[in-house]
Amino acid sequence: MNSFDIDASCNSNWRRRFLQGAGAAIGLASLNPRSLFAQPSDRGTLRGTDFDLVIAPMPVNFTGAARIATAVNGQVPAPILCWDEGDTVTIRVTNQLQTVSSIHWHGILLPEEMDGVPGISFSGIAPGQTFTYRFKVQQAGTYWYHSHSAFQEQTGLYGPIVVLPKNGELVSADRDYVVMLSDWTDEKPERVLANLKKMSDFFNNKQPTFGEFMQDAQRMGVSGAVEKRKMWNQMRMMPTDFSDVTASRNISSALRYLINGSTSESNWTGIFSPGEKVRLRIINGSATTIFDLRIPGLKMTVVTADGQDVEPVTVDEIRVSVAETYDVIVEPTEEQAYTIFAQSIGRSGSVRATLAPRQGMQAPVPEIDEAHWLTMVDMMGAMAMSGANGGHGGHGAMQNSSSSSTASREAIATHQNHAQDAPTAADSHAGHGQSTTASTSKPAQAPKVRHARTEYGPGVDMRVDMPRTNLDDPGVNLRDNGRRVLTYADLRTVGGPVDPREPTREIELHLTGNMERFMWSFDGQKFSESLPIHFRYGERLRVVLVNDTMMNHPIHLHGMWSELESATGQFQVRKHTINVQPAQRVSFRVTADAPGHWAFHCHLLYHMEAGMFREVVVS
């Protein structure tokens, strides 16, 4: 069977229970034929409440060169774990590696000691040892699991989780597939990080060229083309720095993109019959790649975000940041194949899979879209939107203000703030576990922020004084592309917030970095330099994140839901991972109902390893 067919595996669990209860008088002919594939010999999906997982090295070949991956039960990705909401699951994990390992259950609410983060909630799983995870499954939806030890996530230790709701799906489907996106490198990840530290644009294959300069000179004049580049050169920044590691056939350590562990050449295929509703459980399990996914010829109706039901919204394309999950419903009516097409945010590469009535069918694969330069909005936020008339009109309508000389001069001035402008201790914002009493007024549009003293150092190369708060921006390389692109402004969680209380406290943290030196941090302090952030048990608080960099950062808080707010402070959507765009301010509410020690970090693996990580203590 297709190991990523949930309808043929997870859902057959309750079908078998029904048959056992009804007796042998019901013949096999009355069954949905797809349930016949769900046999114990299926290695792709594990069902029930009791599991044994073995972490071990395994030879793989995704590129034409043999390499060793970190596998679970001999699989990359790891097996789909299928649970029922309300059950208590027991998972014995045995480590057959030569180093400490771990498994974190991403987005799953559970006790601190079951969270699986070495150095935070437990000591890890030593070589040759078995650790038993046991917890009650309190939620339903699409989630995933991965290692939280060193770079094992990049080398293959990740897999899907599907939790079936006790009362059935809010939006039903005839077929149910996991679509797990991931990235792979033949190089040792430690070497990848070393290369980034030596030269942060080592993998950037979209750097400005002389040919592009000539095109700009013809379009905007030589002086305009020079001015456009002068700003970036003065700041020593790259206008196409979208991703740390990219896909390239010319660099052996570059990435290869996978869907359900298959390359484009292998072409993973999900089968449908015309007229059926097909649920696709999209999971970005990559280490460092943000994907933009679409299915040419099919609309996608988004029905869940990060495992939580949302009011359905129909779109053409979805930006799936690292660690996010989305369930979508598609309804193919024709007897033809459709391409599931996912391209990286930086347009360096792509991967395809197929939906088809029969195995072996294929559809045309789109060309990779053109990459555009980052704009003043991505650098200066609200200052550029107001000063350069670069306002965003929703779903890709943001204007490109990079030709504005006024905005350019303001950007350089902002970028080149000197240490003598640093605030005093009394002016520092409420990061590092400090806090202020939350104002009774809602967060203002385009708020002017204050930067912590720790941001004024060699680890921070830019600060945004007026971040933007627009959630309806699809983001760089998706603006004005002619397609209906999902944004956070489109998402509304069904049922509203988990806690109706207003926040009584506010904590502000800035996402900071020095891109040239490949240094990443919160408030200019990497994890080894920081103190824990303290939440008071039972309190409702607001966390504000300000992105002072020109890269996207998917931020994940372990153990508790992050309930994203609109720019005016209204509940928007419940998530476990929130992608913060360049020069953007977002806020979310948290109910501190999980005592213990929790990780809080950027989910770009190399950013986390370079320091964008915090410990949160709830007590």
Tell me the domain boundaries of the chain: 43-168, 171-206+242-371, 419-618
Task: Say how far apart CA 19 and CA 13 lie, in whole Å.
Answer: 10
**Is a pLDDT exceeding 60 seen at residue 470?**
yes
- 272 CB-near residues (< 8 Å, 6+ apart): 174, 175, 278, 332, 355, 356, 357
Q: With bands split at pLDDT 50, 70 and 90, how would you rate the model's confidence at 228? A: low
Q: Which position has the higher pLDDT, 150 or 406?
A: 150
Task: Say how far apart CA 601 and CA 450 lie, in whole Å.
Answer: 22
- 316 CB-near residues (< 8 Å, 6+ apart): 294, 299, 300, 483, 484, 485
Q: What angle in degrees, to the nearest 10, is found between the helix axes of 405-415 and 222-235? A: 10
Q: With bands split at pLDDT 50, 70 and 90, how would you rate the model's confidence at 34? A: very low
Q: Which position has the higher pLDDT, 144 or 443?
A: 144
Kindly report, residue by residue over 297-350, the tens digit of the pLDDT: 999 999 999 999 999 999 999 999 999 999 999 999 999 999 999 999 999 999
Supply the pLDDT for residue 413: 43
The CATH number of domain 419-618, selected from 3.40.50.1360, 3.40.50.970, 2.60.40.420, 2.40.10.120: 2.60.40.420
**Single-letter amino acid code for the residue at 472:** D
Q: Give 3-state DSSP helix, strand, coil % of the chain, rounded to 5.
A: 15, 35, 50
First and final CA of the chain: distance in angstroms? 48
Kindly report, residue by residue over 420-433, the tens digit of the pLDDT: 344 433 344 444 44
Q: Across the chain, what does the average pLDDT equal?
A: 84
**Is a pLDDT exceeding 50 seen at residue 448?**
yes
Q: With bands split at pLDDT 50, 70 and 90, how would you rate the model's confidence at 379? A: confident
- Which class does domain 171-206+242-371 fall in? mainly beta
Kindly report, residue by residue over 243-291, the tens digit of the pLDDT: 888 887 666 668 999 999 999 999 999 999 999 999 999 999 999 999 9
In the block, tokens 């203590």 appear at 617
Given a contact cutoff of 8 angstroms between Cβ atoms, the answer to whether 591 and 498 are in contact is yes
**Per-residue b/e over 221-251, b at no fewer than 16 CB within 10 Å?**
eeeebebbbebbeebebbbbbbbbbbbbeeb
Which tokens sit at 540?
Answer: 């409702």
The CATH number of domain 43-168, selected from 1.10.220.110, 1.20.1440.230, 2.60.40.420, 3.40.50.150: 2.60.40.420
**Is a pLDDT exceeding 60 seen at residue 97?**
yes
Q: With bands split at pLDDT 50, 70 and 90, how would you rate the model's confidence at 374? A: confident
Q: Which position has the higher pLDDT, 251 or 90?
A: 90
Q: With bands split at pLDDT 50, 70 and 90, how would you rate the model's confidence at 10? A: confident
Which tokens sit at 15?
Answer: 């079908």
Supply the pLDDT for residue 214: 63
Fold matches, 171-206+242-371 and 419-618: yes
Supply the pLDDT for residue 215: 65
Query: What is the average per-residue pLDDT within 407-431?
Result: 43
**Is a pLDDT exceeding 60 seen at residue 605?**
yes
DSSP for 123-168, please give it: --B-TT-EEEEEEE----EEEEEE--STTTTTTT-EEEEEEE-TT-
Which tokens sit at 422?
Answer: 């640093």
Supply the pLDDT for residue 15: 36
Task: Say how far apart CA 521 and CA 614 lie, in whole Å.
Answer: 9
Least-confidence region, from 43-57, 66-80, 182-196, 251-265: 251-265
Supply the pLDDT for residue 108: 98
Q: With bands split at pLDDT 50, 70 and 90, how would you rate the model's confidence at 515? A: confident
Q: With bands split at pLDDT 50, 70 and 90, how would you rate the model's confidence at 220? A: confident
**Is a pLDDT exceeding 70 seen at residue 511?**
yes
Query: What is the average per-residue pLDDT within 366-371?
Result: 95
Kindly report, residue by residue over 108-144, the tens digit of the pLDDT: 999 999 999 999 999 999 999 999 999 999 999 999 9
Q: Residue 557 is inside which H or E element, if any?
A: strand 553-557
Q: With bands split at pLDDT 50, 70 and 90, how would you rate the model's confidence at 236? A: low
| Share above pLDDT 70 across residues of the chain, in percent, rounded to a whole number | 76
Strands annotated E in 251-373 = 255-259, 269-271, 278-284, 291-294, 300-305, 308-315, 317-320, 325-330, 338-344, 350-356
